[in-house]
Amino acid sequence: MSTAPGRLRIAIQKSGRLSERCLDLMREAGLRVVKGNNDLLYRVENYPIDILRVRDDDIPTFVADGVADLGIVGFNVLEEDPVAHAKGAKTVMPLGFGRCDLKIAAPETFVWSGAKSLEGLRIATTYPNVLKRYLQTNGVNAEIVEMRGAVEVAPRLKMAHAICDLVSTGATLEANGLKAFATVLNSEAMLIRSPKDLEPALQELAESVIARFKGVVASQGAKYVMMNAPKAALDAITAILPGAGAPTVTPLAGRDDAVAVHAVCQESVFWETLEKLKAAGASAILVLPIEKMM
Ligand code: ATP
Ligand code: ZN
């Protein structure tokens, strides 16, 4: 795979559950992604950045080897890849999408009393390395049956007693008469970067892309909250605001007893929160979305 020199390379999943969300993230970060000459490569037209579109399983190795400078991949894939682990693809941050869990599941009638219940059994999975570590941590001896996919049919085919597979809604498990008994790993999409050094100009570009991604992730779910409040209730009101730092407090014209309070709330602001604020004495409460944050 060859890309133009002097361009930053970001590897993302070509087609799958993470692809669209990765492209959304780029757009929200102000990168104008356009199709390139071939399917493998998209280009960013307003910055010297190439987007490598590959199988998600290849992303950790590409990033570890410096074929790509940055990459976006599920934490589950990263944890499973021993080569990338050894070469040190570095985790930058979780991106807040692609959430799923790697779980131990078995037929509904299975009697579960902790990981020890797996002793001596056969467990089918596409994540043998992560499963092996889980079994070791729990001091369990079990046989790992490595599969390429369709793990959920293994118990019915008597290939395995249990499975270790990704679950997001649980619908696939249910459709196959299986029940989840334990969580092996919580996963979401991660931004990773290469341990290889970049030329200074690209290094700077990489830092700026990372800072923008951080801003996009931080502004998701964050709200700007404004209200009027009695001075006496300021402490109580600050304590109610979810995930806010020190609020901005400004005087209100012609009022000695009340102030305006503005705060950025990092967590969701629910109706219950507004009701509590009101009960504490706040009035004229406004909750606004935040588009960008840095
Ligand atoms: P590829 O062709 O790139 O190898 P894939 O079939 O391995 O694709 P997808 O099924 O598209 O991968 O899933 C990509 C990632 O999405 C997973 O590795 C995981 O991090 C995340 N994900 C989120 N929810 C789920 C889910 N319910 N099942 C599987 N993966 C999920
Ligand atoms: Zn894959």
With a 6 Å cutoff on the Cβ, whether 166 touches ligand 1 is: yes
Q: Which atom of ligand 1 is nearest to the CA of 168?
A: 27
Q: How do residues 159-211 score in pLDDT, each as one tens digit?
A: 999 999 999 898 999 999 999 999 999 999 999 999 999 999 999 999 999 99
- pLDDT at position 272, please? 93
DSSP 179-193: EEEEEEEEE-EEEEE
Nearest CA to ligand 1 atom 12: 16
Range of the domain at 134: 100-187
As a whole number of angstroms, the distance between CA 177 and CA 173 comes to 6
Residue 1 counted as domain residue: no
Same domain, 109 and 172: yes
Which is the closest atom of ligand 1 to the Cα of 75? 20
* Mutation probe of ligand 1 site: the residue of 59, 76, 100 with most atoms within 8 A of C-beta: 100
Q: Are residues 180 and 285 in the same domain?
A: no
| Domains: count for the chain | 3
106 and 153 inside one domain: yes
Please report, for the domain that includes residue 228, its CATH number. Answer: 3.30.70.120
Q: Is residue 3 assigned to a domain?
A: no
- Whether 60 is in the pocket of ligand 1, judged by its Cβ within 6 Å, is no
Same domain, 181 and 54: no
Distance CA(34)–CA(73), nearest Å, equals 21
Q: Are residues 193 and 82 in the same domain?
A: yes
Instruction: Give the helix ranges, DSSP H, for 138-199.
Output: 171-175
Domain of 153: which CATH number? 3.40.190.10
Q: Whose CA is nearest to atom 1 of ligand 1?
A: 55
Q: Are residues 125 and 193 in the same domain?
A: no
Give the model confidence (pLDDT) of 225-281 as tens digits: 999 999 999 999 999 998 878 899 999 999 999 999 999 998 878 899 999 999 999
Q: Report percent pLDDT > 70 for the chain.
A: 99
